[in-house]
Amino acid sequence: MEHRKKSMKTQVFSFILKISAGIVVILAVWFMFTYFLIEIGVVIPSNYEETLLSENEEKLLNKDPIEIEDLSYGCRFGVFSKDLTYQYGNMDSKDITLSRGVIEKEKSNLNGNFSFSVLDRPNDICVIKYSIQPYLNINAGFIRYPNYDFVSYGAILLIYIIYIYILTSKLVKRWQKEFEKISKITHEIRQQNLDFDYESSNITEFKETTESLITMRDELKLALYNQWKIENNKNEEIAALAHDIKIPLTIIKGNTELLIEDNPEIAQTKHMENITQASKKMEAYITTLIHFVKADKISYDSKKYITCEEFAESIKCEIDKFALSYHSIIEFDISALKGSLLLDYFAVERAILNIVSNALEYRSGDSMVRCGIKSDNKWFYLSVYNAEEEFSEEVIKKGKELFYTSDKSRRSIHYGIGIPYTDKIVQAHYGEVILKNDEIKGALVIIKLPIKTEIQSSR
């Protein structure tokens, strides 16, 4: 059975009603509790002193002298002559002045929480000051008859604060659960998990927000699916084109090799050298293009764990050997490394060598290419840089786009398939390729790969 949906406005209004009703209920319960305490003698009612005075009035009219023991606890008294001269008692000067005013009926017999009672005795006048507030019937030395009104105010305030806190906590907890539902949806979308179950809300505003997010999820899911179809079709077309080009290229290369075998003397001619070099470049280009298409097909099973230190040492050896083919040496700066990487080693190695190849091939003159390797708690960083080079803004912006090449001179790293391929491989490992200019390092390419704290067994 579906619960009735409520708006936040309705819940807030209900919250205010409960708070208002709460104070009424608390006061009613407290009055009943006070009456019970009076009945069992724990609380002395406000008219108790007045009742005692009425009962002992005859005794007080005739006793001479009056003593404090003749009165209940807390009473003060003063005995005045007929001409209002203060004779004895335990009143202070303020009470004496007030008593004269009451006797002469110039002042009210009520003063704050106290009342003044006047007894007209045969030879003098006795004024008794007594409390008209209820108090607790406690006399334990350190606590002597505390004022029950103060205790009541404090207790009612404390109970009311607790009541409001409980009501507020329930409302906040109810809304917090709804926010958690929304947070779960946004988290799943952020993690690119678009096939998840969600829990609807019984609160109108939260339900509308949830439905909007789910609509956005479905639209995003459809858009990503369409994008994937377009990308997949493009990759299939590129793969088909690459294979179609590779067939006649293989024929050209094979016939060239046959011509050289039949006529060894033509192998050294300029035209034959140009054909051979062009064939090799085209073959490398087509091979890289095919690798680019296959980069999307890297599976978890093809990935293995390797420590960052082992990977750095291995990739350094490969880069050193690769640089020798360019008759170059690459300087390395390797920091202390911790953790491990989960990767398809050969795919990542090929991606890194693409960066190194571009850096070596399109550097200016004999400028030095350098490589830095370091890590922190989350990432493994491999950077390739050349302090004498600098990227244009266009290269930094579009360098990772497939088939992009800089229109400027080859004094900057050339981008066609190499960087897009590297970027695709690194993304398949949940990493990132960054192109930037550094004030000290110059043109800088950074490969970021996520690291683990320890090697885990392959699933």
Among candidate residues 117, 132, 147, the one where a domain is terminated? 132
Three-class HEC string of 115-168: EEEEEECCCCEEEEEEECCCEECCECCCCECCEHHHHHHHHHHHHHHHHHHHHH
Last residue of a domain, one of 295, 323, 350: 295
- 343 and 427 co-located in one domain: yes
Would you state the pLDDT for residue 289? 67
User: What average pLDDT does range 343-372 have in this prediction?
Assistant: 85
Q: Does residue 226 or residue 20 have the better pLDDT? A: 20
Q: Percentage of the chain with pLDDT > 90? A: 15
367 and 237 belong to one structural domain: no
Please give the backbone phi and psi of residue 406, each rounded to the nearest 5 degrees, phi first. Answer: -70, 135
Bridge partners for 373 per DSSP: 334, 382
pLDDT band at 313 (very low <50, low <70, confident <90, very high): very high
- Mean pLDDT over residues 38-54, rounded? 74
* Average pLDDT, integer, range 239-263: 70
Specify whether the CB–CB gap between 122 and 116 falls below 8 A.
Answer: no
CA distance 74 to 51: 15
Nearest Cα to 411, choosing from 453, 442, 378? 442
On whether both 331 and 289 belong to a single domain, the answer is no
Beta bridge partners of 135: 44, 147
What would the pLDDT profile of 57-103 be if each residue is shown by its tens digit? 888 888 888 888 888 766 889 999 988 889 999 888 898 889 999 88
273 is a domain residue:
yes
More confident residue, 294 or 76: 76
Give the mean model confidence (pLDDT) for residues 323-336.
85
pLDDT of residue 458: 40
Domain containing residue 221: CATH number: 1.10.287
Determine the average pLDDT of the residues in 161-181: 90
384 pairs with which residues across the strands? 371, 445
Question: Residue 412's pLDDT band (boundaries 50, 70, 90)?
Answer: very low
The values of phi and psi at residue 100, to 5°, are -60, -40
Residues 420 and 302 in one domain: yes
**Residue 34 falls inside a structural domain:** no
3-state secondary structure of 88: strand
Higher pLDDT, 54 or 89: 89
Q: Do 318 and 231 lie in a common domain?
A: no
Check residue 53 and give its pLDDT: 79
Shared-domain flag, residues 390 and 363 = yes
Rounded to whole angstroms, the Cα distance separating 13 from 227 reads 48
- H or E segment to which residue 243 belongs: helix 204-262
Which pLDDT value is given to residue 288?
67
Residues 125 and 210 in one domain: no
How much is the mean pLDDT over the chain? 79
**Does a structural domain hold residue 30?**
no
* CATH number of the domain that residue 386 is part of: 3.30.565.10
pLDDT of residue 384: 92
Is residue 60 situated within a structural domain? yes
DSSP for 29-88, please give it.
Answer: HHHHHHHHHHHTTSEE-TTHHHHHHHHTHHHHHH-SS--GGGS-TT-EEEEE-TT--EEE
Domain co-membership, 328 together with 401: yes
Positive or negative torsion for Cα 153, 155, 156, 158: positive
Residue 230 pLDDT exceeds 80: no
pLDDT at residue number 410: 42
Q: Write the pLDDT tens digit of every residue in 98-120.
A: 999 988 888 888 887 788 988 88
What's the CATH code of the domain at 92? Answer: 3.30.450
Distance between first and last Cα of the chain: 43
Same domain? 359 vs 244: no
Token reading at 291: 């690798």
In-domain check, residue 23? no
Q: Which domain holds residue 213?
A: 204-295
Residues 303, 218 share a domain: no
Residue 163 lies in a domain: no
Mark which of 255, 275, 295 sits at the end of a domain: 295
Evaluate whether residue 443 is within a structural domain.
yes
| Total structural domains within the chain | 3
Is residue 385 pLDDT above 70, yes or no?
A: yes
The answer to whether position 249 is within a domain reads yes
Mean pLDDT of 151-171: 90
Task: Give the model's confidence band at 383: pLDDT under 50 very low, under 70 low, under 90 confident, else very high.
Answer: very high
Distances (CA, A) of 67 to 79, 167, 260: 10, 55, 142
The answer on pLDDT for 333 being more than 80 is yes
* pLDDT tens sequence across 16-34: 999 999 999 998 998 898 8
Dihedral (C-alpha) 232, 234, 235, 236: value to the nearest 10 degrees? 90
Average pLDDT for 396-412: 61
The verdict on 303 and 291 lying in the same domain is no
User: Pick from 287, 258, 251: which is nearest to 272 by CA?
Assistant: 258
Answer yes or no: are the C-beta atoms of 82 and 68 closer than 8 Å: no
209 and 317: one domain? no
Instruction: Provide the 3-class DSSP secondary structure of residue 408.
Output: coil
